[in-house]
Amino acid sequence: MNKYLIILIFITCSAFAETVTVTGTHTYSENVSTKDGCDWARKDAFIKAKEQALGGKKFRSEETEMCNEVDGKTSCVRNKLFLSESIGEITDYNEIKKETDEINLEGSNEEFYICKITIKANVEKLSETLDSSYDFNISFNRLNFREGENLKIDIKLSKPIYLNIFQWLPYENKKKVKIYKIFPNHLERNNYIETKNLSLPLTDAHSKKAKYVIEFPKNIDKDRVDEWLIFIFSKEYIDFFPDYPRREDLIKEYMREKSVKLMYKGYTIIKE
């Protein structure tokens, strides 16, 4: 589970779908891999697609640094932090074109590159979400984890609600499942939340053995990776599948529901 990169997106129930073609860009230094640079270009394209399809709604973007001590030296990675509220979501997309070029930045001795990714995306607009009397605040016990550490989640709620939580593993092989439901589960079966302060994993007599243990992904040539949890709040019970091949598959099912709200929250796993 994973990063300093936190994404919050609120969603609803579809009124229309629009297909748009946009190009996302990202400039990165020689210390960043082409794959990571293009991953950020792809995220930029996703945001532009939603902005274009949803009437120019802007997304707030911030930057932060994640630092850790390695062999007595401080290593820092600068990441973009996206926070947004949206009335729609990308339900499917095709990558049409990807280009990378070296560029010169005035006053810098480093080598810099730019990645440009063009996508054709299907954006669905939502027509019915939870009303403003429902409010949520989600926090983790930390944002950076190592192998074997436990994730704990604290959620503040304004009203009783049904809750489903999915783990999104974006780095998984395309042929593998990328979305897993982690709550409710066989130890924590009741997902109707009536308390205003919820701590997960639960500690009652029936679920005291439940743990959310962090695992660094296998066969990944990186020192750190990002993962996300997807929180879906709903007025009515929704019988989601236990897993989905892609995030878009979960979103398509979510978009069919009414009186729902979706939020993403990310964390980072650091390799030992």
The reported pLDDT for the residue numbered 9 is 39
Query: At residue 156, what is the residue type?
Result: K
In this structure, what token pair is assigned to residue 36?
């990571």
**Residue range 11-53, pLDDT digits in tens:** 334 446 789 999 999 998 888 889 888 988 998 898 889 888 8
The reported pLDDT for the residue numbered 145 is 92
DSSP-assigned letter for residue 170 = T
The reported pLDDT for the residue numbered 225 is 82
The reported pLDDT for the residue numbered 62 is 39
Q: What is the pLDDT along the chain (272 residues), one digit of tens a residue?
A: 443 333 343 433 444 678 999 999 999 888 888 988 898 899 889 888 988 887 765 544 434 444 444 434 344 444 443 434 456 778 889 999 999 999 887 777 788 999 999 999 998 876 667 888 999 899 999 988 999 999 999 999 999 999 999 998 877 666 677 899 999 998 899 999 999 999 999 876 555 678 899 998 887 777 888 888 999 999 999 999 999 988 888 888 888 888 888 888 888 888 87
In this structure, what token pair is assigned to residue 164?
């489903």
DSSP-assigned letter for residue 84 = -
The reported pLDDT for the residue numbered 257 is 84
Q: Give the whole-number percent of the chain exceeding pLDDT 90.
A: 36
- Residues near 77 by beta carbon (within 8 Å), at least 6 away in sequence: 65, 66, 67, 224
- Strands across the sheet with 60-70, in order? 7-8, 73-83, 60-70
Please give the domain boundaries of the chain with CATH numbers for all domains: 7-270 (2.60.40.1930)
In this structure, what token pair is assigned to residue 124?
């669905």
DSSP string covering 94-113: EEEEEEEEEE--TT--S-EE
CB 50 within 8 A of CB 124: no
Residues facing residue 243 across a β-bridge: 180
The reported pLDDT for the residue numbered 206 is 58
Tally: H helices and E strands in the chain: 2, 16
Max Cα–Cα distance, the chain, nearest Å: 63
